[in-house]
A and B are shown apart, each in its own frame.
Chain A
């Protein structure tokens, strides 16, 4: 339990720094921006209390917003994702619930499950984020294009992170 807290704290800091210092600067023509930091919310253990997921989402969003000085933008998106995560987990839970001490990752839940889970949440996050950012529906399809492209890019990064985790966990 304590180990998990430390582990997640470190990954929180690393993800925020990576997002703030690296990924925010990756812009393919100002069109595609990957938002890897959502992986933090995706990877929280199943047993995390729902309110804690929301609060952690809120804190994560504030931290990201601090870098881009867009206070509230990422925060609302992460809170939204934390909210959706609860219902999505309920929807895709295996019969008899999640096994104890399993985490939402490829290793424990399988590739198909994780791909579906990650894709849905990343898409929701990006949809929310980009539409809050543009804050109007006049450029609906332009924004939608940004959402899809960025979500795809984020998904690749998330899967890469999973790949690293997968290796490290099989070794140990």
Chain B
């Protein structure tokens, strides 16, 4: 303590100088906008950089939620798109205050598991009966068709993907409009086969294959893939067409579950035909 006091008194001149200079600088920074902004800018430069670095890192942790939000939003937007509505035609309409009735509703979901190497491949999705998912609904991703919901639990559902030997998707060639059936004949998970295209149809490599919307599982016009090669076996009326799927089943993430409002109505109507 004695030494400290001696040290202080010995150097009182320097301390007084530092003290007065400190006061001057406090006054300077507090009362002069220019110096003020400079000081805080330079401290902002350091701290701001630090913050932005931390933010950059933090953003990665948030990406998951942000993506989920965006997917949710996309689903909502897609539900309001005109393509998901069907126009009500006809002269006599019972009760009709809009010209469009909603046909499809999209729910965003996330693929949590996916297989591609089995004969019957399924994809597990993190939405279930609690979210209103029912068996038979279609599942699409922004890139294209994925499959149909097979089994539903409370929080999950399993989707029979296109890569399932018993799954057949009603598909058509976008350019000519001819309708066929898309199946997967095992093997390469990138390739599916389009059947029932008659031999008089003109085909080109690169033709786009899209959904028909006939089965009411998927909306019409969802991308399935592109023709990569085709051949016409001797004495056969139908092409063998290889279709490269637009969806990469090995890198699935956000998907949309499609609920069709009119599916039951259509099915009931079609069931009448069989009953008669």
Contacts and interface: CB of A to CB of B under 8 A. Distances in A.
A79 B34 CA distance: 21
Contacts of B25: 72, 76
Given A71-B27, A72-B26, A76-B24, A54 B17 contact: yes
B17 A75 contact: no
B95 interface: no
A50 B16 CA distance: 10
Contacts of B35: 72-73, 132, 135
Given A54-B16, A72-B24, A72-B31, 8 more contacts: A51-B12, A54-B13, A72-B28, A72-B32, A73-B32, A79-B17, A79-B21, A83-B13
30 contacts: A51-B12, A54-B13, A54-B20, A55-B20, A58-B20, A58-B23, A61-B24, A69-B31, A70-B28, A71-B27, A71-B28, A71-B30, A71-B32, A72-B26, A72-B27, A72-B28, A73-B32, A75-B27, A75-B28, A76-B24, A76-B25, A79-B17, A79-B20, A79-B21, A80-B21, A83-B21, A132-B28, A135-B35, A135-B38, A136-B38
A86 interface: yes
B132 to A, nearest CB: 63
Contacts of A72: 24-32, 35
Contacts of A80: 21
A131 B102 CA distance: 71
B86 to A, nearest CB: 67
Interface residues of A, number: 23
A72 B23 CA distance: 8
Nearest to A78: B24
Nearest to A51: B16
Interface of B: 12-13, 16-17, 20-21, 23-32, 34-35, 38
B13 A76 contact: no
B24 A58 contact: yes
Nearest to B14: A83
A136 B35 CA distance: 9
A104 B196 CA distance: 112
B239 to A, nearest CB: 73
Contacts of A55: 16, 20
Nearest to A128: B21
A5 B17 CA distance: 23
A76 B17 contact: no
A83 B38 contact: no
Nearest to A80: B21
Interface in A75-127: 75-76, 79-80, 82-83, 86
A90 to B, nearest CB: 11
A146 B26 CA distance: 25
B13 A70 contact: no
A71 B31 contact: yes
Nearest to B32: A70
A51 B21 contact: no
Nearest to B24: A76
Interface string A37-54: 000000000000011001
Contacts of B28: 70-73, 75-76, 132
B210 to A, nearest CB: 61
Contacts of B20: 54-55, 57-58, 75, 79
Instruction: Enumerate the 8 nearest inter-chain pairs by beta-carbon distance, A residue then B residue, closest first.
Output: A72-B28, A72-B27, A76-B24, A71-B31, A75-B24, A83-B17, A79-B20, A71-B27
